[in-house]
A and B are shown apart, each in its own frame.
Chain A
Amino acid sequence: MQGVGGVVSGGGGSITSGVSMSTVSKDDNLVLSSEDSSSCLEESELELGLGLSLGGGSCKAQQGSRGGQYARFLTAKDFPYVGSSSSASSASSSSSSSSLSRANVSSGTKRSADSVAAANGTSQVVGWPPVRAYRMNSMVSQTKLPVTEVFNSLIGKNRNTNTTVGKETNNSCDKSNVNAKVKGHSRSSLFVKVNMDGTPIGRKVDLNSHSCYGTLTQKLEDMFQTSSTMMNSIRSSGEEHDMMVEATRPSRLLDGSSEFVLTYEDKEGDWMLVGDVPWGMFISSVRRLRIMRTSEANGLAPRSEETNGQRTKPI
């Protein structure tokens, strides 16, 4: 199933190209949509609009899927000409957590659901198989994979078929069988703060419950997915920008406003773009995360062919 640009899948008001093109030139900030992460140097359709899924994430059969707003945060992977890192390969392919079952909308607002859905790349039916979320989470965290594994593309499923327990799909982020030998050390949690521009209340995410950028960004997308709180804060930021506030479609609200970029503060206090370094290195140096408006991320989002070493002004 060909991915079509990480697009907001918000029902109805899906972002299409053209509207927000004016804010960013075509050459910059290509939002890549390829499911095959290794082809991140390919050009693909330019799709803008609020955050849209990272890489292969939401690019499958989202047509008409109701609700399920997905924010996608740009990471280093999206700036291929500054040197795509191998770690970026982990970024795509974790499937959207949306269910493709009969008109079922992802309910990933529950925190434990987030990590389950994010990690549970292949299952495309929410809440199936009926295994308690706690058990799912603990199984997922037992199967950590090296970041550099290549992902297979997801096979999109038509949402009208019910037989969607993705046996045929492979999300290698979580591919290893649970039967694999478990590591010999205990893993503690590593909760870091996550703030998103425009949202006053921050969240926390356990970085140790992820093994790659893909599941992390998926979880963040779910966390900061549309909820009434989020909508209110989005509305208010929309008003700041003097835009029409619409009742139900945050994607329209955000149409034309800036995209978001995922950044982190490292041990030295600098704000860096997420995705450049291997996961393990990232984990050891990250202090907190921020989902930043691209417009503020000067120097992080390259407008020309600068290296990615450029730093933003301290925040």
Chain B
Amino acid sequence: MNYFPDEVLEHVFDFVASHRDRNAVSLVCRLWHRVERLSRQRVFVGNCYALSPEILIARFPGLKSLTLKGKPHFADFNLVPHDWGGYVQPWIEALSNSRIGLEELRLKRMVVSDESLELLSRSLANFKSLVLVSCEGFTTVGLAAIAANCRFLRELDLQENEIDDHSGHWLSCFPDSCTSLISLNFACLKGEINLAALERLVARSPNLRSLRLNRAVPLETLQNILMRAPQLVDLGTGSYIHDPDSETYNKLKHTILKCKSIRNLSGFLEVAPRCLPAIYPICLNLTSLNLSYAAGIHGSELVKLIRRCAKLQRLWILDCIGDKGLEVVASTCKELQELRVFPSDVLGVGHAAVTENGLVAISAGCPKLHSLLYFCQQMTNAALIVVAKNCPNFIRFRLCILEPTKPDPVTMQPLDDGFGAIVQSCKHLRRLSLSGLLTDRVFLYIGMYAEQLEMLSVAFAGDSDKGMLYVLNGCKKLRKLEIRDCPYGDKALLTDVGKYETMRSLWMSSCEVTLGGCKTLAKEMPRLNVEIINEHDQMEIGSEEQRVEKMYLYRTLVGPRKDAPEFVWTL
């Protein structure tokens, strides 16, 4: 192989697509490393602080697509203070100063400013695709810059971001010459939209395949849009409310009949259930349905809808569907692969919710299920054991029993055996989230059986340091471990410090680790950043025995970050 010209190697490497495989390829020998890096176009950086933009740019001069993740996962649940970090600005500055012709940028949990968006739009001439997930810090002014300046923009996908909405005029900033849009998702915008501009934009975008509207787009506009874009594959409705006896609604019914390509349906941020029949004709084609923001659809309307969706592979719903509704899913959606059931009543007043029965029904009816996120009132060991037997193919299993440390309500036992059955049966399990009452034993099982486990989320669980140690010792492929409110202390933290260099990151909050323990770890492992988050100035510099409220450590090539705020100490 060493005697092939570089071009041949490059051609072979073209077929190696996944990041991991390409990373592996680059480790074989120097020649392969060089050929690989010069030909690499897509790079995924799971932790933006693990390296610097300069290192990235130097290694991959042909970079076209970059994915960056910033804040730790628990930032989603408000455990990480605002201003912690995760700024994209240095990356955009570095890219704009380089000769890299970046075309795609995908960010998750990062802080993005209007200045960053403006700089991006002005300096990257070939920029085509911007995907922002759970980001914050920007406004519609930044979006206007993207719309106005990115002449070849194909994709603008905003998912669940916190965006300050100053006006709906950013849509008008797409020039008339912009006809390249393939995907536009602004469902998370809270403000008004220039409807006429939206319609004109859709009319001049013949390649548009994916369109997700926000709440401000009424049904009349949806009708007009679908008339012009019957080729849509992915549709997110805005406000879906009208008088079912009206002319507009009638027109919509006819228009939808022409939209034979729609496979993904979402939205219904506001909905009049009596208007749902208009979408019945397309239900049979749907492979993905997201009703998790559609609080207005429930009860029999919801069930009627689901009964028509026999080809669903992915379903996201609210728990108001109830166990009975899940039984309908189980009997209808035989192709189901991914299910997410979100809590509709996080304020805890316990209305319709789902229990272990719904999950058992799903597992029995949907043998292809491999990804699960399930918020429920309760769970039993018996149910989990049945689920494990029915569905040995789980890759992601995330169970959240709403009440922390709740035991099996039938036996009053911890859920160790139930989760143990899951990890034992599901040999390809990569991601696991635990909840309910759990002792050290569940971690013994996880360490023993979860050989492919890469990400583990633990809360209010375990009895002693042993729990954490079982996991660290047993799960060889562990990359991300996040723990909150567990009794793990310095002994668990320090027993195998080398392990952390094989992982992306470790988060521990409200545990028993002390400042002294963290300092020891930082000293022994210089290639880790051990960060303590010291909100409200609780910690004093001197005393080693005080508990650390929040610790986040990660491996890095570039040492302590320079943009850490005052309340973050890198030890």
**Interface positions of A from 112 to 169, Cβ below 8 Å from B:** 112-113, 116-117, 120-123, 125-136, 138-139, 142, 162-169
A132 to B115, CA, bound (A): 26
**Interface positions of B from 457 to 475, Cβ below 8 Å from A:** 457, 459-460
**Once the chains bind, are B191 and A134 in contact (CB under 8 Å)?**
no
**Once the chains bind, are B295 and A188 in contact (CB under 8 Å)?**
no
**Interface positions of B from 330 to 367, Cβ below 8 Å from A:** 342-352
A132 to B78, CA, bound (A): 8
Q: Which residues of B contact A183 (CB under 8 A)?
A: 270
Q: Which residues of A contact B83 (CB under 8 A)?
A: 109
A125 to B320, CA, bound (A): 23
Q: Which residues of B contact A102 (CB under 8 A)?
A: 485, 510
Would you list the 10 A-B pairs with minimal beta carbon distance, nearest first? A67-B536, A127-B77, A113-B78, A110-B82, A134-B160, A178-B295, A167-B348, A132-B76, A186-B215, A182-B296
Task: State the majority secondary structure of interface residues on B.
Answer: loop
**Once the chains bind, are B349 and A163 in contact (CB under 8 Å)?**
no
A204 to B192, CA, bound (A): 18
A27 to B161, CA, bound (A): 48
Contact with B along A248-273 (1 / 0, CB 8 A): 10000000000000000000000000
The reply to whether the CB of A284 lies closer than 8 angstroms to some CB of chain B is: no
Contact with A along B265-302 (1 / 0, CB 8 A): 00001111000000000000000000011011010000
**Once the chains bind, are A163 and B547 in contact (CB under 8 Å)?**
no
Q: Which residues of A contact B405 (CB under 8 A)?
A: 162-163
Given A103-B510, A105-B549, A134-B188, does the pair A127, B404 have CB atoms closer than 8 Å? no
The reply to whether the CB of B249 lies closer than 8 angstroms to some CB of chain A is: no
Instruction: Give the bracket for the number of chain A residues in contact with chain B.
Output: 35 or more
Known: A123-B347, A179-B352. 17 other contacts (CB 8 A): A11-B536, A11-B538, A101-B510, A107-B80, A110-B82, A113-B82, A127-B74, A127-B78, A131-B346, A133-B76, A133-B162, A135-B292, A136-B346, A174-B347, A177-B320, A177-B345, A184-B270
**Once the chains bind, are A189 and B82 in contact (CB under 8 Å)?**
no
Closest CB of chain B to A71's CB: distance in Å? 13
**Once the chains bind, are B402 and A110 in contact (CB under 8 Å)?**
no
Q: Which residues of B contact A163 (CB under 8 A)?
A: 403-406
A184 to B216, CA, bound (A): 11
**Once the chains bind, are A186 and B270 in contact (CB under 8 Å)?**
yes
Instruction: Give the bracket for the number of chain B residues in contact with chain A.
Output: 35 or more
Closest CB of chain A to B352's CB: distance in Å? 7
Contact among A108, A130, A187, A248 for B77, CB-based, below 8 A: A130
A231 to B320, CA, bound (A): 44
* Residue on A nearest B188 in the bound complex, by CB: A134
A178 to B79, CA, bound (A): 25
Closest CB of chain A to B155's CB: distance in Å? 20
**Once the chains bind, are B270 and A129 in contact (CB under 8 Å)?**
no
Given A129-B402, A178-B318, A186-B215, does the pair A110, B348 have CB atoms closer than 8 Å? no
* Residue on A nearest B238 in the bound complex, by CB: A186
Q: Which residues of B contact A108 (CB under 8 A)?
A: 78
